[in-house]
Chain A
Amino acid sequence: MARNVSRGFRPFALLSSKFAIIGAMIILVLWLGSAFAFDSQSVFLPGETSDGHVLFEASCKSCHEGFKPVSNDTCNRCHEAEMAKDIHGAKKFRDPRWAELRENIDVLTCTACHQEHVHMFSRGVNLPPDLCMACHQGVIDGDLASHDGFEPDGCWTGGCHNFHDHRSISTAFLRENLDQPWMLPKPKLPERVVTTKLDTAPKADLSQEFLGGGI
């Protein structure tokens, strides 16, 4: 009796599980395929996207060319202005005096510190905040008496140092601008002047076209 029941039951169970697996696969393929076809690619995101990039995270092709690794050129398409005066840039590290330090952190590759879709500490940086210590341990350990005893993870998270742009925190800049009054004598904001060719407006050259409202 028991054998009979199991005999009757088994093929049905097999059929249903097969059906479930095939069904699930079809749904999965349809789902991924339609996500791809309809350009709704956020389903492919492997993890959380950084604050700076989250607004266009569904546009994979903005940074990825197929499955190739993201290159510096990709980043520079948008970040060229910020990197124009990069103090940790190619100019410094192609110099043989400093080139060896690139073995500590590959600072000439954006993604060495700025991976995407992984945990970010701050400012789109995925390396732990004490990353400066890879080369600058001496700063808090006696090389510069001024920074002795500072925490190894505070250089940039404290807001003082900016890895790429040193212009506003360099000793020379601070020294030069110490003891300034709270208001500078004359604001240096540029005035915007618009020069026009005519004194009176010409006649509007379109009118009825607008009433249709269509394109």
Chain B
Amino acid sequence: MRIRDKDKGIRRYLSVIFSFMIFFLPIFPQVAIADNVSQAQLQKIEQQWQTSAHALAEVNCSSCHQNEETKAFMAKPTEESCKSCHENSVDTFLLGKHGIRTLEGMSPLTPAMAHLPMKDGSLDKQMNCNTCHNVHTVNTYQASVDSCLTCHSDRHSLNYKNSPHANIFQEIGTLPRPNQNSVTCATCHLPREVSGDKVLVNHNNTYTLKPRDRMAKEVCMNCHGLEHAFNSIFDDELVEANFARPPTQKLPTFKLVRDHEKKRSRSLP
């Protein structure tokens, strides 16, 4: 009898712990469960890899799927693997909204946490390098627009397809990466930067976003004149339409500068 009572007590105790665990379950970071890979999938991945820049640069399966020190196999490498070659890309990614949660040791960002409108089917995607990049084809063509539109469904993003920028990209789009005349989402939001003899991609997606004059100077003015750039980017409606038409507003700033110039030239001997 006594043993049974004790048993009951333990059972009650366990059930309390269990209900506590269920209560706090959403707090635990999601545990990544590796999917089983079939022979056919493996063959397809190998084919993709064989024609990629990674293969030709001698970046083999083990370069990413094996721990450098312990040589233990990793089914799902993290951004740490990518960082061993792409240090700047990963470092900048971790500083933007896409990566900041990972940097701070939290579960990765998912579109469900976003404040901007996101596509329903994408809500539980976890942000890491592989979310936007197909790491086996190393084709940044896909990462420059299609990956963004997998999740983002605000009006600016959705209107990209109808913009003159998108038309240029469609006409001249080249594999495996957009060339210098293409204007993709990444051209403005993850811009290329010259650093010494290298061209790096700033993966901090928040860096050029705000304030808007930074975007105008560092991105728009790579191709457009000052007044066109400023008159466009400070027009909310035009931003929403993804610059589908030329700007109609004329910012008073330029009148101020012209007046200032006139005065200056008059006062000069």
In contact, B58 and A58 (Cβ under 8 angstroms):
no
In contact, A196 and B53 (Cβ under 8 angstroms):
yes
> What 1/0 flags go to A158-176 for Cβ under 8 Å of B?
0110100101110101110
CB distance from B264 to the nearest CB of A (A): 9
In contact, A196 and B57 (Cβ under 8 angstroms):
yes
Q: Among A147, A175, A189, A212, find the residue whose CB has the most chain B CB atoms closer than 10 A.
A: A189
Interface residue A197 (Cβ < 8 Å from any Cβ of B)? yes
The 4 A-B pairs of least Cβ separation, nearest first, read A180-B225, A196-B56, A201-B55, A177-B226
Across the two chains, which residue of chain B brings its CB closest to A164? B211
In contact, B226 and A180 (Cβ under 8 angstroms):
yes
In contact, B177 and A192 (Cβ under 8 angstroms):
yes
In contact, A213 and B211 (Cβ under 8 angstroms):
no
Of A48-56, A66-74, A101-109, the one contacting chain B is A48-56
Interface residue A205 (Cβ < 8 Å from any Cβ of B)? yes
Interface residue A181 (Cβ < 8 Å from any Cβ of B)? yes
In B26-57, which residues have CB < 8 Å from any A CB? Answer: 27-28, 34-39, 42, 46, 49-51, 53, 55-57
In contact, B34 and A177 (Cβ under 8 angstroms):
no
Interface residue B246 (Cβ < 8 Å from any Cβ of A)? yes
Collect the chain B residues with CB atoms within 8 Å of residue A174's CB: 226, 253-254, 257
Collect the chain A residues with CB atoms within 8 Å of residue B212's CB: 159
Interface residue A202 (Cβ < 8 Å from any Cβ of B)? yes
Contact of B60 (CB < 8 Å), options: A38, A168, A178, A205: A205
Once bound together, how far apart are the Cα atoms of A197 and B204, in whole Å?
29
Collect the chain B residues with CB atoms within 8 Å of residue A187's CB: 180-181, 222-223
In contact, B256 and A56 (Cβ under 8 angstroms):
no
In contact, A215 and B75 (Cβ under 8 angstroms):
yes
Once bound together, how far apart are the Cα atoms of A201 and B60, in whole Å?
9
Interface residue A1 (Cβ < 8 Å from any Cβ of B)? no
Question: Which B residues contact A (CB, under 8 angstroms)?
Answer: 20, 24, 27-28, 34-39, 42, 46, 49-51, 53, 55-58, 60-62, 65-66, 72-76, 95, 97, 100-101, 103-106, 109, 113, 115, 177, 179-181, 187, 192-194, 199, 201, 204, 206-207, 210-214, 216-217, 221-228, 234, 246, 253-254, 256-261
Once bound together, how far apart are the Cα atoms of A15 and B184, in whole Å?
70
Collect the chain A residues with CB atoms within 8 Å of residue B66's CB: 206
CB distance from B50 to the nearest CB of A (A): 4
Identify 13 residue pairs between A and B in the complex whose beta-carbon atoms are under 8 Å apart, listed by A's number. A59-B105, A146-B260, A159-B211, A171-B257, A173-B217, A177-B221, A178-B226, A184-B223, A184-B225, A198-B56, A201-B56, A206-B62, A211-B37
- The interface on chain A, measured as residues whose beta carbon lies within 8 A of the other chain's beta carbons, has a size of 64
In contact, B192 and A189 (Cβ under 8 angstroms):
yes
Q: Are A82 and B225 CB-contacts (below 8 A) given A193-B199, A213-B34, A213-B75?
A: no
Q: Are A56 and B100 CB-contacts (below 8 A) given A204-B49, A204-B60, A210-B42?
A: yes
In contact, B222 and A213 (Cβ under 8 angstroms):
no
In contact, A56 and B24 (Cβ under 8 angstroms):
no
Once bound together, how far apart are the Cα atoms of A9 and B155, in whole Å?
66
In contact, A40 and B27 (Cβ under 8 angstroms):
yes
Collect the chain B residues with CB atoms within 8 Å of residue A188's CB: 222-223
Collect the chain B residues with CB atoms within 8 Å of residue A171's CB: 257, 260
